[in-house]
């Protein structure tokens, strides 16, 4: 089902556009709540201090333990879990270092 295309559909088209204005993508982009909820605060990268190494189990059908680290972000103090991409990266001893997620 598409949109109305008749001669007397101007009110319907205008009201539908007005109703849909605050739905989904437009609302997410303009309200600013997505930025407040995101630990990065809208940024693509953030620096943090590594707290501990953790293993996260993969979903089915894979069965492995993904190497991850708990990181406390410097900019707002929030704690997040970040994936460590290369296998040898997580073998270093645990010490608080400045760490930037990929």
Q: Could you read off the pLDDT of 9-62 as tens digits, one per residue?
A: 999 999 998 888 888 888 888 888 878 888 988 888 899 999 999 988 988 898
Q: Which residues contact 63 (CB under 8 A, 6 or more apart)?
A: 57
Q: Could you read off the pLDDT of 70-97 as tens digits, one per residue?
A: 999 999 999 999 988 876 665 665 555 4
Has residue 102 got a pLDDT over 80? no
Domain ranges of the chain: 1-31, 48-99
pLDDT at 15: 93
Task: Please state the separation of Cα 34 from the chain's center in Å.
Answer: 9
As a CATH number, domain 48-99 is 2.40.50.140
Considering the chain, what is the average pLDDT of its residues? 83
Per-residue confidence band for 98, with pLDDT thresholds at 50, 70 and 90: low
Q: Which residue has the higher pLDDT, 3 or 93?
A: 3
Rounded CA separation 96/33 (Å): 31
């Amino acid at each position: 089902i598409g949109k109305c295309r008749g001669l007397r559909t101007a009110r319907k088209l205008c009201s539908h556009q007005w109703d849909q204005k605050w739905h989904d993508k437009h609302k997410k982009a303009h309200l600013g709540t997505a930025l407040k909820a995101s630990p990065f605060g809208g940024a693509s990268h953030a620096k943090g201090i590594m707290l501990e190494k953790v293993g996260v189990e993969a979903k089915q059908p894979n069965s492995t333990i993904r190497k991850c680290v708990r990181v406390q972000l410097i900019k707002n103090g929030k704690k997040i879990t970040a994936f460590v991409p290369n296998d040898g990266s997580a073998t270093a001893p645990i010490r608080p270092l400045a760490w930037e997620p990929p």
